[in-house]
């Protein structure tokens, strides 16, 4: 993400002055050379890509699905199966959040395979932001369902073990955003760095197998993030703590 990308420069030329002026009203002074960071622009483009592509794929449902609708339905069934297996019968309630995270991360990971783009997930702020969102989301869902009883998530069912359980569970929950963000950031950064180094040292065609591998690892990292999100939601909303 350190390299200067043409799309980042162009968007900053167009929107930069407006952003600088808006933030100046709040007393915040941005970098005049790049007021909108590259990872913010690329993350926005990734979200826009997901909205457009799946907006076109979903369309108006047909009784006999065409090719576009079949792709959408296969993805729907994939995420629904994941949620049902991990969360249970309530899994469909969280289909939107788990599916959106998967698509968003997958798109960002694949951006790095296109010339002139880079994966915003190689900037730690992006995985960290998503991990914090997941942390807040699953805890809010647990509170919404169990009300005050959600405290048992940290203390256990019996008061006499609460002094032992509470510190352990607290550390466990706090470490989840760190684990989610570092795993995604580390894997995608290492993958892109390796491809760039080999592309510079060897013949242009040599990194092609690695780029094919990057397609797999990019999807795998998106799946792991989505799966762990489902696991955390399951723990928060389950009847047993």
- Please state, in angstroms and rounded to a whole number, the distance separating the CA atoms of residues 45 and 107: 9
Count of residues for the chain? 241
Give the confidence band of 128 by pLDDT, cuts at 50, 70, 90. Answer: very high
- Please state, in angstroms and rounded to a whole number, the distance separating the CA atoms of residues 122 and 189: 5
- Please state, in angstroms and rounded to a whole number, the distance separating the CA atoms of residues 235 and 142: 8
Parse the chain into domains and list their residue ranges: 67-237
- Please state, in angstroms and rounded to a whole number, the distance separating the CA atoms of residues 105 and 131: 12
Contact 128, 186 (CB under 8 A): no
- Please state, in angstroms and rounded to a whole number, the distance separating the CA atoms of residues 134 and 137: 5
φ/ψ region of 27 (left if φ > 0, alpha if ψ in -120 to 50, else beta) reads left
Element containing residue 21 per DSSP (H, E):
helix 6-24
3-class DSSP assignment, residue 64: coil
Euclidean distance between the first and the last CA atom of the chain, given in angstroms as a whole number: 41
Residue 201 pLDDT: 67
Ramachandran angles phi, psi of 59, nearest 5°:
50, -155
- pLDDT tens per residue, range 5-62: 889 999 999 999 999 999 999 899 898 889 999 999 999 999 999 998 887 766 676 7
- pLDDT tens per residue, range 139-190: 999 999 988 888 877 776 666 677 777 788 888 889 999 999 999 999 898 8
């Amino acid at each position: 993400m350190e390299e200067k990308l043409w799309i980042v420069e162009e968007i900053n030329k167009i929107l930069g002055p407006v952003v600088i002026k808006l933030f100046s009203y709040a007393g915040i002074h941005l970098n005049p050379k790049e007021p909108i960071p590259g990872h913010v622009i690329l993350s926005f483009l990734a979200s826009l890509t997901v909205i457009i592509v799946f907006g076109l794929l979903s369309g108006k449902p047909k009784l006999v699905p065409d090719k576009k609708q079949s792709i959408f339905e296969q993805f729907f069934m994939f995420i629904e199966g994941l949620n049902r297996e991990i969360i249970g019968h309530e899994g469909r309630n969280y289909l939107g959040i788990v599916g959106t995270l998967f698509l968003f991360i997958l798109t960002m990971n694949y951006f790095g395979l296109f010339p002139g783009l880079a994966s915003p997930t190689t900037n730690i702020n992006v995985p960290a932001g998503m991990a914090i969102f997941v942390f807040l989301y699953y805890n809010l869902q647990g509170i919404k369902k169990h009300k005050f009883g959600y405290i048992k998530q940290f203390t256990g069912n019996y008061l006499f073990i609460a002094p032992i359980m509470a510190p352990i569970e607290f550390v466990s929950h706090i470490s989840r955003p760190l684990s989610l963000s570092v795993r995604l950031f580390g894997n995608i950064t290492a993958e892109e760095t390796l491809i760039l180094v080999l592309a510079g040292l060897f013949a242009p065609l040599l990194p092609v197998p690695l780029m094919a591998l990057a397609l797999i690892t990019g999807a795998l990292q998106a799946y792991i993030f989505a799966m762990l999100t489902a696991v955390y939601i399951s723990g928060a909303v389950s009847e047993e703590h």
